[in-house]
Structures are given as structure tokens and as C-alpha cells.
């Protein structure tokens, strides 16, 4: 008669647990794989914000006598906010996307008020619409 190599577990222990080594299983967080498309969008938001921050800063410094409109200061503030938003998006922060949308709305409004052309409004909002199309399906991954 051969002995069975399987060990019987006590009746009160559920399958998969043995002895006092019970560790509660945590629900696994979804994997945060940054796709190349998300990476490209974040890099473009950063570069766009950095470029316009430098342009607005240089224009504000050279024309420091008197700023006739609020367009250039708003361009500087919103483009700096875009750089901060891109950094937050890189670290999977939900408020980064909200900051990007808010700064885009402010810039679109300022551009429309400065020029009066509805095309400026569309051109300002289009990048945020594309970013929303890319980021909103991945919203569950952000903190």
C-alpha cells in the first residue's frame, strides 16, 4: 500500500491557505503602462508650454514699458501652467489634466478676446480636445 503524497488541510481552512501564514490579498492596482501615444502627448504639452513660456517671457521683458493688453501676461501664465500640467500628467496625477484644460480654456478666451476670430478659439481648443480623447479612457489609471 503506497502513501499519498498530498497533505490534507484542516476542514476549517479555505483552499489556498495553510496554517498561520494567511496574508490578506490586496486588490491589485491597474498597471500603469504609459503608451507611446500618451508619452508623445505629454511631451508635446510640455514642449508647447515651455516654448510659449519662453516667448511670452522674452516679449514681456523687452516690452516692459507698458503692457497694453492682458494677452501676453495670460500667455505666460497659461503656458507655465501647461508645463506644470505636463509634469503632473507624467506622474499620473488627475489634477494635471484638469489644470491643462483650465489653462487652455483661459488661453482660448484670451485669444478670442484679443483677436475676435473664432478660428483662434478653435485652434486653441483643438489640442485639449485631442488630449481629452486620449486621456479620458485611461482616467482610471490616474491618482
Q: Which three cell numbers stand for residue 93?
A: 496625477
Q: Is residue 137 part of a domain?
A: yes
pLDDT of residue 100: 94
pLDDT of residue 70: 79
Range of the domain at 77: 36-141
Q: Is residue 93 part of a domain?
A: yes
Q: Which residue from 104, 136, 101 is spatially nearest to 123, judged by alpha carbons?
A: 104
pLDDT of residue 115: 79
Q: Higher pLDDT residue, 74 or 62?
A: 74
How many domains does one find in the chain? 1
Write out pLDDT tens, residues 66-119: 556 777 888 889 999 999 999 999 998 999 999 999 999 998 888 888 777 888
Write out pLDDT tens, residues 13-27: 555 555 555 555 555
pLDDT at position 127 over 80: yes
Q: Is residue 3 part of a domain?
A: no
Q: Is residue 98 part of a domain?
A: yes
Q: Is residue 22 part of a domain?
A: no
Share of the chain above pLDDT 90, in %: 29
d(CA 70, CA 90): 30
Cα–Cα distance list, 104 to 2, 5, 7, 75 (Å): 76, 67, 65, 10
Amino acid at each position: 500500500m503506497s502513501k499519498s503524497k498530498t497533505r490534507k488541510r484542516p476542514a476549517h481552512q479555505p483552499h489556498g491557505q495553510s496554517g498561520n501564514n494567511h496574508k490578506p490579498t490586496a486588490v491589485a492596482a491597474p498597471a500603469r503602462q504609459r503608451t507611446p501615444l500618451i508619452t508623445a502627448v505629454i511631451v508635446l504639452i510640455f514642449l508647447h508650454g515651455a516654448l510659449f513660456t519662453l516667448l511670452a517671457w522674452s516679449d514681456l521683458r523687452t516690452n516692459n514699458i507698458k503692457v497694453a493688453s492682458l494677452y501676453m501676461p495670460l500667455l505666460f501664465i497659461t503656458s507655465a501652467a501647461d508645463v506644470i500640467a505636463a509634469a503632473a500628467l507624467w506622474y499620473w496625477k488627475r489634477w494635471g489634466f484638469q489644470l491643462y484644460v483650465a489653462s487652455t480654456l483661459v488661453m482660448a478666451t484670451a485669444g478670442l478676446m484679443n483677436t475676435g476670430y473664432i478660428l483662434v478659439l478653435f485652434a486653441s481648443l483643438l489640442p485639449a480636445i485631442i488630449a481629452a480623447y486620449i486621456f479620458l479612457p485611461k482616467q482610471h489609471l490616474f491618482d
